[in-house]
Chain A
Amino acid sequence: MLSERSIDPAALDLLKKAAKDGIETVWDRYEAQQPQCGFGSLGICCRHCIQGPCRIDPFGQGPTRGICGATVDVIVARNLLRQVAAGAAAHVDHAYDAVEALELAAQGKINYPIKDKNKLRTIAAGLGLDATDQDVNALALEVVKVAYADMANHSQTPIQWLMAHAPKERIAVWKDLGILPRNPDREIREALHQTTMGMDADPVNLVLATAKQGLVDGYAGLKLATDMQDILFGSPTPVVTEANLGVLKSDYVNLIVHGHVPLLSEKIVEWAKTLSTEAQSVGAQGIQVAGICCSGNEVLMRQGIPLATNFLAQELAIVTGAVDAMVVDVQCIMPSLAQVAACYHTELITTMPIVKIPGATHIPFSLENADEAAQVIVRKALTAYTKRDPQKIHIPDHRSTIMAGFSVEAISAALAHLDADQPLKPLVDNIANGNILGVVATVGCNNVKVTQDLFHVEMVKELLKNNVLVVATGCSAHALAKAGLMNSEGTERFAGASLQAVLTAVGEAAGLGAPLPPVLHMGSCVDNSRIGDLVTAIARYLGVDTSALPVAASAPEPQHEKALSIGTWAVTMGLTTHLGVVPPVLGGKQVTELLTQGLTEVIGGKFYVETDPLLAAQGLITDIRAKRRALGLDN
Chain B
Amino acid sequence: MKQLLVRSEHCVGCKSCELACAVAHSESKTLFGAVLESQPPRKRVFVETDGTMNFPLQCRQCSDKPCVRACIAGAMHLDPNTGLVQVNDDKCVGCWMCVMVCPFGAITEGPDRHVVKCDRCRELQYEPACVSACPTRALQWVEVDRFAATDRRSWVDHLKEANTYAE
Write the residues of chain A forming the contact surface with B, with a CB cutoff of 8 angstroms: 35, 37-39, 41-42, 55, 57-62, 582, 586-587
Contacts and interface: CB of A to CB of B under 8 A. Distances in A.
Given A58-B19, A59-B43, A61-B42, A37 B31 contact: no
B36 to A, nearest CB: 7
Interface string B1-27: 000000000000011101110110000
B133 A55 contact: no
B42 A38 contact: no
29 contacts: A35-B16, A35-B133, A35-B135, A37-B14, A37-B16, A37-B135, A38-B16, A38-B20, A38-B133, A39-B15, A39-B16, A39-B19, A57-B18, A58-B19, A58-B34, A58-B35, A59-B19, A59-B34, A59-B35, A59-B40, A59-B42, A59-B43, A60-B40, A61-B40, A61-B42, A62-B18, A582-B32, A586-B32, A587-B35
Contacts of A587: 35
Interface in B74-90: none
Contact of B132 (A35, A38, A55, A582): A35
Given A39-B14, A58-B35, A61-B42, 19 more contacts: A35-B20, A35-B132, A35-B135, A37-B16, A38-B19, A38-B20, A38-B31, A39-B19, A55-B15, A58-B34, A59-B22, A59-B42, A59-B43, A60-B40, A61-B40, A61-B43, A586-B32, A586-B35, A586-B36
B56 interface: no
Contacts of A57: 18
Contacts of B40: 58-61
B30 to A, nearest CB: 10
Contacts, number: 48
B1 to A, nearest CB: 25
Contact of A38 (B23, B36, B41): B23
Contacts of A35: 16, 20, 132-133, 135
A57 B19 CA distance: 8
A383 B14 CA distance: 50
A46 to B, nearest CB: 14
Contacts of A41: 31-32
A586 B14 CA distance: 19
Q: Which of A38, A42, A55 has the most CB of B within 10 A?
A: A38
B87 to A, nearest CB: 18
Interface of B: 14-16, 18-20, 22-23, 31-32, 34-36, 40-43, 132-133, 135
Nearest to A58: B35
A434 to B, nearest CB: 36
A64 to B, nearest CB: 12
A59 B42 CA distance: 7
Given A59-B41, A59-B42, A61-B42, A42 B18 contact: no
A38 B24 CA distance: 13
B86 to A, nearest CB: 21
A60 B35 CA distance: 10
A70 to B, nearest CB: 18
Q: Which of A39, A42, A57, A58 has the most CB of B within 10 A?
A: A58
Q: Which of B20, B35, B36, B43 has the most CB of A within 10 A?
A: B35
Contacts of B132: 35
A247 B139 CA distance: 49
Closest 4 CB pairs of A and B: A38-B19, A59-B40, A59-B22, A58-B35
Contacts of A55: 15
A532 to B, nearest CB: 31
Nearest to A60: B40
A35 B31 CA distance: 12
Nearest to A587: B35
Contacts of A58: 19, 22, 34-35, 40
A581 to B, nearest CB: 11
Contacts of A62: 15, 18
A360 to B, nearest CB: 30
B57 to A, nearest CB: 14
Contacts of B41: 59
Nearest to A582: B32
A60 B19 CA distance: 11
Contacts of B133: 35, 38
Nearest to B37: A59
A66 to B, nearest CB: 14
